[in-house]
């Protein structure tokens, strides 16, 4: 395995470019999608698929879903370089969900630049995002010669399983955004994360297990590891948003208190609503429900979270989840190198500061 994880990034991008070239022509379309009945319009597909996809990928992203997949592949004793094509599956899926989520959330920015629907129009952005849900699934069909039928079927059934639950998670999250007085338990919040974020992690792990023909208990173990790591990552995100905002409370900027402005019902909010006195809880609910917030209101909400002990509570839950994630793969016989890398992933998700 390459020494540092970052070394895989350009190779992953090369593999993605084999699947969706930067320049689309009729020959590629025929090869990848099958011959047309009449005549394709390569220029149209260029603009509707390749341009938005590469615009997003070229802005950055760590490709960590692809890298985690390759770590598993090596842990299972196979050569990661031969599985680069499959590493693109979760990566393209993930970037597709980003484009669609940004439309759903009416996001202005993505990775520091205008969200894709602001550049290409909502119609092109959405269709490109949706195309990126199905395009990677075709990779399995195209691997007929390498991949036995039972593995292809297992991969498809796994993907349908997880992609269904992804949409349940997103549905719960959106519904909670939209409703002021919705009651959410911490367990429901964790489930939303497990579905929305965790399922893509599960895809990474289960795909690696299926393609290297691991027994079911190994597939389950790595899926649990990836799911819990992803949930811990999401909670880490929620904590960071509050901590960074409190840390630079003096310099009100656009990035200040994003989650409060969006009215997100994070684990920190759920905890504070349950732990604060009724009046304070009602005030928090009120601020979150407002369409626009002043900086003072945002700061007030952040203080309510802090005073309720939400940050400590959330950090404790995230640490527990990371520990559970590591415990899930304890019984597996990975080499030391793989063990170290997988441990690093669970540490990164709660110790990072950006």
Neighbours of 159 (CB within 10 A): 22
Selection from 320, 327, 145, 151 nearest residue 224 by Cα: 327
State the binding string over 79-108 for a second copy (x if CB under 8 A, else -): ---------------------x--xxxx--
Q: What is the CA radius of gyration of the chain?
A: 21
Q: Which of residues 165-194 bind a second copy (CB under 8 A)?
A: 165, 167-168, 170-172, 174-178, 182, 184-185, 187-188, 190-192, 194
Using the rule CB under 8 A, which residue among 14, 30, 31, 153 binds a second copy?
153
**Residues 275, 339: Cα–Cα separation, whole Å:** 38
Q: Which of residues 12-31 bind a second copy (CB under 8 A)?
A: 29
Query: Of 93 and 302, which CB lies nearer to a second copy in the complex structure?
Result: 93
Using the rule CB under 8 A, which residue among 123, 282, 296, 344 binds a second copy?
123
Interface with a second copy includes 143 (CB under 8 A)? Answer: no
Interface with a second copy includes 124 (CB under 8 A)? Answer: yes
Using the rule CB under 8 A, which residue among 16, 99, 131, 284 binds a second copy?
131
Which residues neighbour 145 within 8 Å (Cβ) at sequence distance 6 or greater? Answer: none
**Residues 210, 162: Cα–Cα separation, whole Å:** 14
Place of tokens 């009945």: 37
Q: Report strand pairing: 109-110 vs 113-114.
A: antiparallel
Query: Of 49 and 342, which CB lies nearer to a second copy in the complex structure?
Result: 49
Interface with a second copy includes 304 (CB under 8 A)? Answer: no
Using the rule CB under 8 A, which residue among 61, 90, 198, 201 binds a second copy?
198
Query: Of 1 and 184, which CB lies nearer to a second copy in the complex structure?
Result: 184
Query: Of 245 and 266, which CB lies nearer to a second copy in the complex structure?
Result: 266
Q: Which of residues 218-257 bind a second copy (CB under 8 A)?
A: 227
Query: Of 130 and 294, which CB lies nearer to a second copy in the complex structure?
Result: 130
Residue 69's Cβ-count burial label (10 Å; 0-12, 13-18, 19+) is buried
**Residues 142, 133: Cα–Cα separation, whole Å:** 16
Token code pair at residue 242: 């509050």
- What is the nearest approach in angstroms of a second copy to the Cβ of residue 92? 12
Query: Of 97 and 276, which CB lies nearer to a second copy in the complex structure?
Result: 97
Interaxial angle between packed helices 64-75 and 336-351, expressed in degrees from 0 to 180 and rounded to the nearest 10? 150
State the binding string over 34-73 for a second copy (x if CB under 8 A, else -): x-xxxxxx-xxx-xxx------------------------
* Helix (H/G/I), strand (E/B), else coil: 218: helix
Interaxial angle between packed helices 267-275 and 295-307, expressed in degrees from 0 to 180 and rounded to the nearest 10? 70
Place of tokens 């709660």: 350
Using the rule CB under 8 A, which residue among 13, 78, 161, 237 binds a second copy?
161
Using the rule CB under 8 A, which residue among 9, 85, 118, 152 binds a second copy?
152
Which residues neighbour 171 within 8 Å (Cβ) at sequence distance 6 or greater? Answer: none
Which residues neighbour 296 within 8 Å (Cβ) at sequence distance 6 or greater? Answer: none
Q: What is the DSSP letter of 83?
A: G
Residues making contact with a second copy (CB under 8 A) = 29, 33-34, 36-41, 43-45, 47-49, 100, 103-106, 121-124, 126-128, 130-131, 133-135, 137-138, 140-141, 149-150, 152-153, 156-157, 160-161, 163-165, 167-168, 170-172, 174-178, 182, 184-185, 187-188, 190-192, 194, 198, 227
């Amino acid at each position: 395995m390459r020494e540092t994880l970052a070394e895989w990034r350009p190779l992953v991008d090369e593999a993605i470019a084999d699947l969706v070239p930067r320049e689309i022509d009729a020959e590629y379309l025929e090869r990848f999608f099958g011959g047309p009945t009449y005549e394709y319009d390569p220029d149209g597909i260029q603009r509707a698929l390749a341009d938005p996809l590469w615009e997003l990928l070229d802005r950055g992203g760590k490709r960590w879903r692809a890298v985690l997949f390759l770590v598993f592949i090596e842990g299972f004793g196979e050569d990661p370089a031969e599985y680069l094509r499959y590493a693109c599956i979760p990566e393209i899926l993930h970037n597709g969900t980003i484009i669609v989520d940004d439309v759903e959330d009416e996001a202005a920015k993505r990775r520091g630049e205008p969200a894709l629907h602001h550049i290409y129009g909502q119609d092109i952005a959405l269709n490109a995002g949706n195309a990126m849900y199905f395009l990677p699934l075709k990779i399995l069909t195209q691997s007929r010669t390498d991949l036995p039928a039972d593995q292809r079927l297992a991969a498809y059934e796994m993907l349908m399983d997880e992609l269904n639950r992804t949409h349940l998670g997103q549905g719960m999250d959106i519904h909670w955004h939209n409703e002021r007085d919705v009651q959410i338990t911490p367990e429901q919040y964790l489930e939303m994360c497990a579905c929305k974020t965790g399922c893509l992690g599960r895809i990474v792990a289960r795909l690696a297990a299926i393609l290297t023909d691991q027994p079911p208990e190994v597939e389950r173990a790595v899926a649990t590891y990836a799911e819990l790591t992803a949930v811990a990552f999401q909670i880490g995100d929620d904590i960071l948003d509050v901590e960074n905002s409190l840390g630079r409370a003096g310099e009100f900027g656009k990035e200040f208190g994003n989650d409060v402005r969006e009215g997100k019902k994070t684990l920190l909010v759920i905890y504070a609503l349950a732990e604060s006195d009724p009046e304070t809880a009602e005030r928090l609910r009120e601020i979150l429900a407002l369409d626009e917030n002043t900086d003072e209101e945002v700061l007030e909400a952040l203080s309510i979270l802090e005073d309720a002990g939400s940050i400590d509570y959330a950090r404790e839950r995230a640490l527990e989840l990371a520990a559970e994630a590591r415990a899930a793969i304890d019984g597996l016989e990975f080499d030391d190198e793989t063990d170290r890398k997988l441990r690093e992933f669970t540490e990164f998700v709660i110790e990072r500061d950006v």
